[in-house]
Each structure stands twice: as structure tokens, then as C-alpha cells.
Amino acid sequence: EGPAGPEGSAGEAMAAELACSECHNDTTLIAGKETAWSDSLHGTNGSYVRGGSASCAGCHSGGAFSAMVAAGLTPGEVESGDPDPTRQDCRACHAIHVSYTGEDWALETTDPVVLYAFEGVTFDGGTGNLCANCHQPRRQIAEAVDGMVEVTSTHWGPHHGPQSAMLLGLAGAPAGFEGSPSAHATMVEDTCVSCHLGEGDSHTFEADVAACTGCHADAEDFDINGLQTEVQAGLDELEE
């Protein structure tokens, strides 16, 4: 038979079985990641039902997200809703059952993302680019006229998760505003993924302080240099 196994259909079946066992084996490789994901917001949220709408499908349905990426579209260019919307599960982010080997853990895309609410702005954050396809604003805030902003939509404001634009210093900003990128955008390799999955690839997507200590050696919580306290005080003032 030789090292490749028997020839013919029996050999092909054996080769397929060996390939599948790279992932489907007696380890917790799949079960562990799936268990963590099932506790994440991606795994528990009910917003996937919005994937039945064309204007929401690209991000709210995991299946529609995969189709959107494959077609090279932005969320605003998806023309039809998903008749069977799903949560953002393994297949939304990974190339599951394409090669039937460990290569199927490859991300669907890591290409830089043109932010469609900001002309000429591209987010290029390594593997975090996958996240930025949806975690970007859908629209800008109009410029104020005489101190007032006209609200023209029941879905007013950036909408979507604006994290990518926030890292670039643009999220929530009115048209014409020029911000500056955060150090988390310019100095953290793989941006979102580095902080929210960490070295252990935690699929709860909960950021870990341990991921911060590479730069913030003395960090004991996320209120680094009192920044969260400062921001909360500003929010409290704004609310009043």
C-alpha cells in the first residue's frame, strides 16, 4: 500500500478521514471554542432576525455576511435579505469545510476595509479587518447649523458598531471633523483580535487585561490612567 495508503476509492476515503481528523478529533479544539462563543454576544444576541431585511442582512446574519464577503460588497450594497438568517457563528468568520483540513480555520477575509460612511478612509488593522466589515458606522452625523443638528431618520446616528472608526478618531463625529487615530489602531498588531481574543484565541470575545500589559505594564483593570473614569464623568455631565 505504501505510506499514502491503498489506491483507489479506499485510499481516497482514508485520506478524507485523516484530513477531517485535523479538526474532528478527541481534543476540545472545536467544543472549547464553540462553548466560549455560545456565551458571547455574537452567540446569544437575537438581532440576527434582522438579517431577513436586505439593508441589515450583511451584518446581522452570519450566512449573509459570508455571502457579502464572497461577493466583495459592503453592508450597504446587499440587495436581498437572508431567508434563513443565522447568528455570526463559526462559518461567518472562518472558511469552514472548504478544504476539509486545518486550513478551514482561515478567516473569511483580512483585506483592508474602506469605511463607506467616510470618504477616502480605510481601516487596515490586520486580522481585525474581518471585524471592521461590520463594526463601522453606517452614516455620519450632519454638521450643526446654528448649534443644531437636524434629525432626519428614526435610525439617526452612526448605527452599526462604530469601533473601527472610533479607533481612527472618527466615530460619532460630524461631517467634516478630522480626528487622529488611537494608539490602539497604529501600535496594536491585529487591532480588535489582539485585545478581544488574545493569545489564547478566546471566543467569548471579552477583552482581557492581560492583553493590555504588553504596553501598559502596571494595568490592573481597564481604567488605565483613569481614562474610563474621565469619560464616565463627561457622560454624566452630558446627561445632566
The helix or strand, by DSSP H or E, that contains position 113, with its residue range, turns out to be strand 113-114
**pLDDT, tens digit, 9 for 90 and up, residues 140-192:** 887 888 988 888 888 777 887 899 999 999 876 666 777 899 999 999 999 99
User: What is the model's pTM?
Assistant: 0.87
pLDDT at residue number 126 = 97
| pLDDT band at residue 3 under the 50/70/90 scheme | very low
Residue range 105-120: mean pLDDT, rounded: 93
How far is residue 105's CA from residue 90's CA, in Å, rounded to a whole number? 9
Residue 5 has pLDDT above 60, yes or no: no
Phi, psi at 115, each rounded to 5°: -75, 115
Residue range 228-237: mean pLDDT, rounded: 97
Amino acid at site 186: T
pLDDT at residue number 7 = 56
**pLDDT, tens digit, 9 for 90 and up, residues 205-217:** 999 999 999 899 9
Amino acid at site 137: P
pLDDT, averaged across the chain: 89
